[in-house]
């Protein structure tokens, strides 16, 4: 056809001219188009020139013409594909911005048609959804037709593509982008059941989004960001990316706020009892509590709407407060700012009163004291009692240095507990709540488990707490252990063990307490300085509270945990040590432990001394290994004197029967102290072999040992006590059998 | 009138000039209340000639002349008068009475004063004066218009370097004036000789105006009553024809100049002509939109077929003249541009003629592929897309190039449909006929622009 030849000629002339004289090329094409208005190549050539020159208006105009006149040209589709991709893109580069401007230059109707047609051509669900979203956002009238079907497509896609986590690209688009369009468009009529389904999906998404663990994003971050990890400020601005989405699209600002908005819009559409001016999630909870006051029978079908209101509102308030509580006490669980450098905090029974308690009890009435102690054991644990009555208002001691906003944290803890109680106050509510939780697999949520454990600990239900703690430990173990140990200190992973020790103690299970404590010691690095000063603060603050019913939030550091552990051991052993049955080993251990926080335990020490005096003799072959307290050493030196009562002390290992054990101990000691005590130990050893069994030498040995011990007074006591716990684990546990 | 004259005679020259304006303002204002178009009688014109242009009325009276200072004051008086009179009709009548050539000895003074007044108004941005001048350029024989254009070009493009910027900025306040000015300039510099090539800075300014807004060349056309015919010896309604002449003859005219001077071809200017040529075609596309919107497409041309004849002749002469100089490239470019201008003019409805007419017209021009294609017309394409109005590209949301879209005239009666294909005009009979005969008795006075 000659016409084709003409068109080719015209386009070729234009192409030849483009570089040296664009204006001439454009003039050729204008002419060509008036000659052959139906020729696609001419128009495409015109468009290419305008596009390459980034002349938005004229390029838009030409694109419009091509779109209208040549709807079947693949080149046009490719171009529309490129433009719609630019619309979905966050990129700010010039080309992308031009393409966006080009699209904006088109008339609305054409934008709408273009997006719809581009959507039809798109077979990737995600891209298709993003394209439709562009349409729905720009043209709200299209929401009625496409909104719900898009939402359903996304929810289906999530299932088809077998997404493990609810935080996936499909759900994100549904919850954050599509759902608000649907529910805020009053022309879209939806049945309540669908609205509740959507609310459920939204809640599951947002809760999982805010509580996503930092590991997941390491996978997505890739290697290039690792250098940034060093700087804490950079870490804050680190971007989380949901697979399949762009960085911008993955960022969700104020997730709770958004969830709350969805809740209130859906609540409105489901005709809940709502205040117009509800501002916060906590306001919602107050409304729900009011509602519960006059509706008691949620089984009634007529009240189904209110049951949903109560359950959904309370559930969301519950999870939000649990989240805030956990993000304060165990921030490293979640992705977010300041997580790496914050130490977790653990809720424990406060036992800082162990010294004072004994001090009040006269030494003679050991029987009575023991009974008191037993009764106390009972009161400390309230597993069998009515939960609602007990443990309602227990005081939780927090050191200001450990937590920036203790009142807020405790308030969240309190509201979360109230929500839990409300959700379990009737069978109907409980059923509904577990119906929500089951598909969410909330029982695998470590953070929720931590809260539930803390809740029962707070309520003093220590048996339940122990069960919960085993559950927690299992959950923790199932998370990839390597990463955790690398990510944080080893001790921080021992939350469950520390709480177990505390709970066993509260139940009077002293051997289990000590077992846990001695396990913990493997993870503890003895602090360089003694922490007596820190220990002092809380005991000053809370004198008016009931003994044994206080709790404390303790930072999970060696510096804080080790003293707590020592106190637990002391408290566990002292009953045995001061029992009627003579137990020198236990008494010796107690004396070793009393060195900590000296002279707080001075009264208890004096009680021990008087017990030794009564006995007339005392055998504790670890004495010189672990007792470095000068006051104690003086006291024991005095006991041997005439004035002291000439007590027979067997404190050197080879003096007694436990020869084997003690020489082992000696061996260990030797190894560790060679740099310091090399000379004296060497003499000692030689001396022992020569003088074994000869009583004459014993006196001399004791004097030498005492002298050497005095020189050890400046040793770090925590190091000594830590070694005590590690080395004497077996005999420590033996005493509690 | 004679009473007024007597009172004025007693005054000094400047206050008499001021007074005469005052009296005539009252006179025309009251006239305008009675009749829409006031009758300009001889009396007022004579008064103005005597007291503003200082033409002695009686043979006996001595010739007075304004001093340079007085003249400047007079210009200020005039400027202020037009600035302060807010009735446009009155301004127009006064301006017309002042500056319409009367074919007498005062015309030289008239033109001199008009040149100075306009130049001053450009400098101090007196928009009402420029608007009056735009109308004056439409109503006045081209020979006078060219004189005004020359005065402005002398003042702004030659005298002080860089002063062209002042003139350039006028586009933002009075596009109508600019449009008329371009038409006059295109008539002035017709490229017929070396001296009549436009100065570079003038060309640059005009190109930048039109390139930024190709609609500019249509302003006068779109604001003129449809029935109006351009009387012989007056400026066109649009600078289009003059500028097309520029673009078409430029490659050869500059080549001729280069031959004479033996120097290089000014490449810069050639780039400007290319831009200008593109803008012409774009302007024509805009015209098509307007014609179609008003259902005038195919009925009202922008220029006449006859106007092409001298252009084609001149081009033929230039080709003959330059042929021995190996000016093939320039000839090719000139012919390409002519062919493009003809094709787009026909397609957009600016030129109403048949392709056969072109064949005769261009018979003596050298061969050119595109011209051949344009003359023989496109190969008849496959059946037109049903949804497409051929050759008509509707607006996107905003009217092109920032102009408000023109409301379709409500009084427009229904007409036969638009021709099916622009390349084959449906009215092959009209060429040569006056366009206006197709609009008998149309109540269609103005196409309002802004």
Which of A94-98, A382-386, A399-403, B228-232 shows the lowest per-residue confidence on average (mean pLDDT)?
A: A382-386
pLDDT at site A382 = 58
- ipTM confidence: 0.82
**A374 pLDDT higher than 50:** no
Q: How far is A319 from chain B (nearest CA, A)?
A: 50
> Given an 8 Å threshold on Cβ–Cβ distance, is B397 in contact with A108?
yes
**B55 pLDDT higher than 90:** no
In this predicted model, what pLDDT tens digit does every residue of A255-288 receive, in sequence order?
888 888 888 888 888 878 776 666 676 777 777 8
> Given an 8 Å threshold on Cβ–Cβ distance, is B396 in contact with A64?
yes
CB-defined contacts A:B, below 8 A: 86
pLDDT at site A701 = 76
> Given an 8 Å threshold on Cβ–Cβ distance, is A3 in contact with B381?
yes
Band (pLDDT 50/70/90 cuts) for residue A503 is confident
Band (pLDDT 50/70/90 cuts) for residue B186 is very high
Whether A207 maps to a domain, the answer reads no
Does any CB of chain B come closer than 8 Å to the CB of residue A36? Answer: yes
**A515 pLDDT higher than 60:** yes
Does any CB of chain B come closer than 8 Å to the CB of residue A37? Answer: yes
**Domain hosting residue A639, numbered range:** 579-654+694-736
Q: Which residue has the higher pLDDT, B184 or A638?
A: B184
Band (pLDDT 50/70/90 cuts) for residue B432 is very low
**A227 pLDDT higher than 70:** no
* Percent of chain A at pLDDT exceeding 90: 2
**A464-468 average pLDDT score:** 87
> Given an 8 Å threshold on Cβ–Cβ distance, is A3 in contact with B380?
yes
Does any CB of chain A come closer than 8 Å to the CB of residue B369? Answer: yes
B-contacting residues in A 367-396 (Cβ below 8 Å): none
Which of A301-305, A386-390, A494-498, A520-524 shows the lowest per-residue confidence on average (mean pLDDT)?
A: A386-390
Q: How many domains does chain A have?
A: 1
Whether A475 maps to a domain, the answer reads no
Whether A698 maps to a domain, the answer reads yes
Band (pLDDT 50/70/90 cuts) for residue A341 is low
**B392 pLDDT higher than 50:** no
In this predicted model, what pLDDT tens digit does every residue of B190-207 receive, in sequence order?
888 888 889 888 999 999
Provide the 3-class DSSP secondary structure of residue A51: helix
**A114-139 average pLDDT score:** 82
pLDDT at site B345 = 93
pLDDT at site B416 = 39
| Highest mean predicted confidence (pLDDT) among A385-394, A637-646, B354-363 | B354-363
Q: Which residue has the higher pLDDT, B243 or A561?
A: B243
Residues of B with Cβ-Cβ distance to A26 under 8 angstroms: 278
**B113 pLDDT higher than 50:** yes
Mutate to test the interface with B, among A8, A17, A34 (most CBs of B within 10 A): A34
Does any CB of chain A come closer than 8 Å to the CB of residue B374? Answer: yes
Mutate to test the interface with A, among B386, B393, B398, B399 (most CBs of A within 10 A): B393
Whether A364 maps to a domain, the answer reads no
In this predicted model, what pLDDT tens digit does every residue of B301-356 receive, in sequence order?
888 888 899 999 999 988 888 877 778 888 999 999 999 999 999 999 999 988 88
Mutate to test the interface with B, among A1, A21, A25, A37 (most CBs of B within 10 A): A37
Q: Is the dihedral of CA A278, A279, A280, A283 positive or negative?
A: negative
> Given an 8 Å threshold on Cβ–Cβ distance, is B277 in contact with A24?
yes
In this predicted model, what pLDDT tens digit does every residue of B163-177 receive, in sequence order?
899 899 999 999 999
Q: Which residue has the higher pLDDT, B28 or A491?
A: B28
**B30 pLDDT higher than 90:** no
> Given an 8 Å threshold on Cβ–Cβ distance, is B396 in contact with A68?
no
> Given an 8 Å threshold on Cβ–Cβ distance, is A27 in contact with B423?
no
* Percent of chain A at pLDDT exceeding 70: 77
Report the residue of chain A nearest B379, measured CA to CA: A3
**A109 pLDDT higher than 70:** yes
> Given an 8 Å threshold on Cβ–Cβ distance, is A30 in contact with B285?
yes
**B134 pLDDT higher than 60:** yes
Mutate to test the interface with B, among A23, A55, A71 (most CBs of B within 10 A): A23
In this predicted model, what pLDDT tens digit does every residue of A33-50 receive, in sequence order?
998 888 888 989 999 998
Residues of B with Cβ-Cβ distance to A1 under 8 angstroms: 379
**A699 pLDDT higher than 80:** no
**A603-621 average pLDDT score:** 85
Q: How far is B369 from chain A (nearest CA, A)?
A: 10
**A443-451 average pLDDT score:** 86
Q: How far is A136 from chain B (nearest CA, A)?
A: 21
Q: How far is B20 from chain A (nearest CA, A)?
A: 53
Whether A347 maps to a domain, the answer reads no
Whether A551 maps to a domain, the answer reads no
Q: Which residue has the higher pLDDT, A145 or A213?
A: A145
In this predicted model, what pLDDT tens digit does every residue of A651-695 receive, in sequence order?
877 654 433 344 444 444 444 443 443 344 444 444 444 444 445
Residues of A with Cβ-Cβ distance to B379 under 8 angstroms: 1-3, 6
**B214-241 average pLDDT score:** 85
Q: How far is B379 from chain A (nearest CA, A)?
A: 5
């Amino acid at each position: 056809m000659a016409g084709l030849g003409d068109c080719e000629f015209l386009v070729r002339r234009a192409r030849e001219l483009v570089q040296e004289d664009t204006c001439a090329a454009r003039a050729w094409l204008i002419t060509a188009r008036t000659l052959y208005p139906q020729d696609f190549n001419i128009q495409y050539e015109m468009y290419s020139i305008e596009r390459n020159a980034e002349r938005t208006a004229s390029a838009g105009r030409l694109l419009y013409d091509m779109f209208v006149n040549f709807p079947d040209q693949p080149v046009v589709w490719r171009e529309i594909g490129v433009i719609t991709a630019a619309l979905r893109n966050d990129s700010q580069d010039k080309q992308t911005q031009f393409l966006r401007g080009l699209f904006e230059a088109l008339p609305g109707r054409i934008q709408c048609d273009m997006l719809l047609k581009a959507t039809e051509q798109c077979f990737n669900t995600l891209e298709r959804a993003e394209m439709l979203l562009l349409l729905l956002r720009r043209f709200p009238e299209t929401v009625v037709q496409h909104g719900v079907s898009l939402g359903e497509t996304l929810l289906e896609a999530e299932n088809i593509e077998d997404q493990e986590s609810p935080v996936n690209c499909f759900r994100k688009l549904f919850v954050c982008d599509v759902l608000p369009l649907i529910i805020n468009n009053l022309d879209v009529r939806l049945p309540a059941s669908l609205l509740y389904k959507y609310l459920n999906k939204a809640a599951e998404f947002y809760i999982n989004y805010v509580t996503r663990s930092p590991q997941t994003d390491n996978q997505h971050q890739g290697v290039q960001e690792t250098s940034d990890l060093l700087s804490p400020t950079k870490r804050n601005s680190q971007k989380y990316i949901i697979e399949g989405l762009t960085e911008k699209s993955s960022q969700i600002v104020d997730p709770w706020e958004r969830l709350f908005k969805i809740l209130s819009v859906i609540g409105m559409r489901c005709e809940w009892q709502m205040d117009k001016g509800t501002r916060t999630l906590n306001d919602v909870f107050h409304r729900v509590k009011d509602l519960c006051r006059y509706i008691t029978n949620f089984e009634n079908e007529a009240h189904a709407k209110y049951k949903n209101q109560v359950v959904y509102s309370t559930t969301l308030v519950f999870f939000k407060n649990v989240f805030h509580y956990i993000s304060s006490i165990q921030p490293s669980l979640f992705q977010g700012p300041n997580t790496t450098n914050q130490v977790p905090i653990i809720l424990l029974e406060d036992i800082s009163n162990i010294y004072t308690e004994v001090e009040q009890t006269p030494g003679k009435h050991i029987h009575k004291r023991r009974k008191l102690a037993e009764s106390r054991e009972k009161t400390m644990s309230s597993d069998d009692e009515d939960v609602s009555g007990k443990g309602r208002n227990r005081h939780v001691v927090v050191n200001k240095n450990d937590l920036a906003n203790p009142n807020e944290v405790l308030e969240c803890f309190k509201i979360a507990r109230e929500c839990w109680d409300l959700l379990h106050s009737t069978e109907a509510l409980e059923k509904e709540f577990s119906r929500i939780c089951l598909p969410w697999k909330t029982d695998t949520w470590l953070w929720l488990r931590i809260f539930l454990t803390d809740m029962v600990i707070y309520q003093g239900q220590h048996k339940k707490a122990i069960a919960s703690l085993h559950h927690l430990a299992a959950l923790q173990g199932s998370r990839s252990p390597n990463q955790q140990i690398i990510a944080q200190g080893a001790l921080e992973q021992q939350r469950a063990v520390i709480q177990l020790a505390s709970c066993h103690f509260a139940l009077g299970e002293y051997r289990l307490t000590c077992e846990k404590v001695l396990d913990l010691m493997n993870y503890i690095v003895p602090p360089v300085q003694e922490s007596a000063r820190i220990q002092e603060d809380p005991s000053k603050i809370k004198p008016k509270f009931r003994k044994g019913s206080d709790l404390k939030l303790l930072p999970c550091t060696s510096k804080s945990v080790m003293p707590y552990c020592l106190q637990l051991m002391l408290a566990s052993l002292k009953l045995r040590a001061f029992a009627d049955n003579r137990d020198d080993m236990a008494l010796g251990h107690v004396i070793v432990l009393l060195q900590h926080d000296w002279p707080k335990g001075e009264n208890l020490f004096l009680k021990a001394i008087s017990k030794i005096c009564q006995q007339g003799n005392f055998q504790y072959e670890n004495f010189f290994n672990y007792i470095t307290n000068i006051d104690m050493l003086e006291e024991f030196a005095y006991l041997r004197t005439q004035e002291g009562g000439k007590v027979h002390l067997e404190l050197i290992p080879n003096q007694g029967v436990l020869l084997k054990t003690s020489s082992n101990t000696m061996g260990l000691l030797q190894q560790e102290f060679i740099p310091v005590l090399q000379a004296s130990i060497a003499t000692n050893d030689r001396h022992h072999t020569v003088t074994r069994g000869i009583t004459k030498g014993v006196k001399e040995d004791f004097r030498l040992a005492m002298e050497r011990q005095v020189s050890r007074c400046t040793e770090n006591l925590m190091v000594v006590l830590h070694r005590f716990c590690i080395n004497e684990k077996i005999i420590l546990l033996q005493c509690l059998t | 009138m004679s009473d007024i004259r007597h009172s004025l005679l007693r005054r000094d020259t400047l206050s008499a000039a001021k007074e005469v304006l005052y009296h005539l303002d009252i006179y025309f204002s009251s006239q305008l209340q009675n009749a829409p178009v006031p009758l300009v009688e001889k009396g007022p014109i004579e008064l103005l000639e005597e007291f503003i242009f200082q033409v002695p009325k009686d043979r006996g009276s001595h010739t007075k002349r304004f001093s340079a200072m007085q003249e400047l004051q007079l210009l200020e008086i005039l400027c202020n008068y037009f600035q302060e009179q807010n009735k446009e009709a009155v301004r127009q009548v006064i301006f017309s009475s002042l500056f319409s050539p009367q074919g007498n000895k005062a015309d030289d003074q008239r033109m001199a004063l008009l040149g100075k007044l306009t130049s001053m108004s450009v400098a101090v941005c007196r928009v009402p004066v420029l608007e009056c001048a735009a109308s004056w350029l439409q109503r006045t024989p081209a020979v006078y218009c060219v004189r005004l254009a020359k005065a402005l070009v002398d003042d702004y493009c030659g005298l002080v370097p860089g002063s062209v910027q002042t003139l350039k900025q006028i586009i933002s306040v009075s596009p109508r004036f600019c449009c008329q000015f371009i038409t006059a300039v295109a008539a002035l510099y017709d490229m017929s000789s070396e001296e009549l090539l436009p100065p570079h800075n003038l060309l640059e300014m005009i190109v930048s105006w039109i390139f930024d807004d190709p609609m500019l060349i249509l302003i006068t056309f779109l604001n003129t009553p449809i029935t109006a015919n351009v009387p012989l010896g007056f400026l066109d309604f649009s600078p289009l024809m003059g500028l097309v002449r520029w673009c078409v003859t430029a490659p050869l005219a500059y080549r001729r100049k280069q031959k004479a001077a033996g120097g290089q071809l000014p490449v810069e200017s050639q780039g400007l002509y290319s831009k200008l040529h593109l803008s012409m075609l774009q302007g024509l596309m805009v015209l098509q939109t307007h014609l179609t919107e008003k259902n005038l497409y195919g009925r009202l041309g922008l220029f006449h077929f006859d106007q092409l004849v001298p252009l084609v002749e001149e081009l033929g002469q230039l080709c003959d003249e330059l042929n021995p100089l190996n000016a093939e490239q320039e000839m090719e470019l000139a012919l390409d541009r002519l062919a493009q201008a003809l094709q787009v003019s026909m397609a957009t409805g600016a030129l109403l003629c048949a392709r056969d007419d072109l064949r005769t017209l261009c018979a003596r021009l050298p061969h050119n592929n595109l011209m051949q294609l344009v003359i023989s017309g496109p190969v008849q394409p496959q059946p037109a897309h049903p949804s497409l109005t051929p050759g008509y590209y509707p607006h996107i949301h905003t009217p092109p190039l920032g102009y408000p879209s023109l409301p379709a005239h409500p009084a427009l009666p229904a007409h036969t449909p638009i021709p099916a294909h622009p390349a084959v005009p449906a009215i092959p009979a009209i060429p040569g006929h006056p366009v206006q005969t197709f609009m008998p008795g149309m109540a269609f006075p103005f196409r309002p622009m802004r």
